[in-house]
Amino acid sequence: MHDFFQSEELDIIKKNMELFYKITEINCMLINDTGDMIFHEGELFNYCTKFMELTGDNSPCSGAHLYASKQSESLGESYIFFCPGGLVHITSAIVIGNVFRGALVAGPVQMNITDPYVIDNLIKVYNIPISARGILQSYYKITPIIAPEKVRYIANLLHILTKDIVGDQKYELKKKKDFYMEQKIINENIQEIKEEENISEKTYPIELERELSGKVRRGDLEGAKAILNEILGYILFKHSGNNDMVISYIIELVVVMSRAAVEGGGNFEEIFAQNIKFYQTAFSTQSMEELCVWIIGVLEKFTELAFKLNKDNVESTHVIKKALQYINQHFDTNISLDEVAKHVNLSPTYFSRFFSKETNMKFSEYLNMVRIEESKKYLLDLNYSISDIAVMMGFSDQSYYTKVFKTFENISPGKYRKMYN
């Protein structure tokens, strides 16, 4: 029964299952690739044992565990589900060498107060003798109740322990999770476009390309991803089924991002070399879904090239990225260096020197660059006055906003507005 797992793998699995049970006091079992239980940590619940006994050969439990485990494999993370017996379980797939080997299944628990109608429903669905109602009800009532938010933490713990089992395969799970999330976001953007009025008149969002460029230049990866996914939603909606057209648009986006990377300070030769590789990959990729996820990776690479950080020091990179993200989320407030330093747990004096060293610009310079880039999209909308935009972006007044704008763009906000209107 254990042949599908090597002895070394089983040793790690047992150790991690014991650790999970000791911490959570929740039963955990290992199933194989057909849904059969190999062994478990903790006592099997009387409710589960009785339910499987009453349903006999028609017991749906192993099939449900296997299905949920496959969902976990597809998502690349743990999966919370209701079992056929009406209780909550958590599963995390074990994938080794790109092969689904089985899963850890934790539970059962309840996330809400006991539902008095669960047992009656099971009796009807599975033709369970009414005489068994009392014993099932008593076993059901003693199943532990855990708050939903705590169940999510427990699911994360189970996933972490599973990743320890699969070793390097955890990177494949992360890729699957990223793929699923990117597709989810793109599909949501497509749905939003469908719900808009006058869809046929909707034109390519060139203004979003400008925003994308600005965010790449300043290293705002999360903001750039959101805009890129919005553009991809438009492209896939407008040109679904026309792969050549989709690829053409994707190549155009690669050009836009590479140009922004150069403008942001990236090395031209290095970026040009990357471009050639990207073009070759774009034309060789058959799946449009994979192509969309691929270009997110391209965006990450160009953002790194535009806003180079010291990759040899992981901790420093993490701190700077955390600071940049905070600034990009709060630029329109009265944000200060002290506030950002506190956010990354550094003293203001040290953070000021550290930020300048790692980004080659002062904190105030970066903040102003973010504000100027963000202000551009409002300059294209004549409903906003320049003084209104200055205040919206966090500047003290229009005069100072104009002065800073000229420093970065060599023209006034008014002239910029005329250029694009």
pLDDT digits (tens, 9 = 90+) for 75-96: 888 999 999 898 999 999 988 7
Burial (CB count within 10 angstroms: exposed 0-12, middle 13-18, buried 19+), residue 397: exposed
Q: Tell me which residue of 29, 82, 80 sits closest to 60, measured CA to CA.
A: 82
Q: Looking at 91-100, 170-179, 277-286, 294-303, which range is the least confident one? A: 170-179
What is the C-alpha to C-alpha distance for residues 146 and 154, in angstroms, rounded to an integer?
10
Long-range contacts of 348-356 (CB under 8 A, 24+ apart): 351/323, 354/316, 354/319, 355/320, 355/323
The pLDDT assigned to 197 comes to: 58
What percentage of the chain has pLDDT greater than the value 70?
Answer: 88
Q: Residue 265: its pLDDT value, please?
A: 77
Q: What percent of the chain has pLDDT over 90?
A: 30
Q: Look at 400 and 111; give whichever has higher pLDDT.
A: 400
Tokens matching residue 7: 């002895």
Q: Lowest mean pLDDT of 23-27, 186-190, 230-234, 297-301, name the range.
A: 186-190
Q: What average pLDDT does the segment 176-186 reach?
A: 64
Q: In Å, how far are 28, 194, 293, 308, 326 from 223, measured between CA atoms?
A: 40, 23, 16, 17, 11
32 and 70 in contact (C-beta within 8 Å)? no
Residue 214 DSSP label: H
> CB–CB of 333/316 below 8 Å?
no
In contact, 358 and 337? CB cutoff 8 Å: no
pLDDT value of position 109: 92
329 has pLDDT over 60: yes
Predicted confidence at residue 270, as pLDDT, reads: 79
How far the first Cα of the chain sits from its last, in Å, is 72
Is residue 1 very low, low, confident or very high in pLDDT (cuts 50, 70, 90)?
Answer: very low
Is the pLDDT higher at 282 or at 313? 282
The pTM score is 0.53
- Per-residue pLDDT band for 149 (boundaries 50, 70, 90) equals confident
To which residue do tokens 């230049």 refer?
217
Strands of 99-109's sheet in order across: 37-41, 28-32, 99-109, 88-96, 79-82
pLDDT of 276 over the 90 cut:
no
Amino acid at 329: Q
State the pLDDT at residue 326: 92
CB atoms within 10 A of CB 261: 27
pLDDT band, very low/low/confident/very high, at 2 (cuts 50, 70, 90): very low
188-203 average pLDDT score: 66
Q: Cβ distance 47 to 61 under 8 Å?
A: no
Structure tokens at 380: 């294209």
The answer to whether residues 23 and 104 touch, using CB atoms and an 8 Å cutoff, is: no
Q: Got the DSSP string for 397-412? A: -HHHHHHHHHHHHSS-
Of 53-62, 113-122, 243-252, give the lowest mean pLDDT range.
Answer: 113-122
In which band, very low, low, confident or very high, does the pLDDT at 405 lie, cut at 50, 70 and 90?
very high
Nearest to 118 by CA among 89, 148, 84, 90: 84
Q: Which residue has the higher pLDDT, 182 or 207?
A: 207
User: In this structure, how many other beta carbons lie within 10 angstroms of the beta carbon of residue 174?
Assistant: 13
- pLDDT averaged over the chain? 84
| Cβ neighbours of residue 403 closer than 8 Å, sequence gap 6 or more | none
Are the C-beta atoms of 394 and 346 separated by less than 8 Å? no
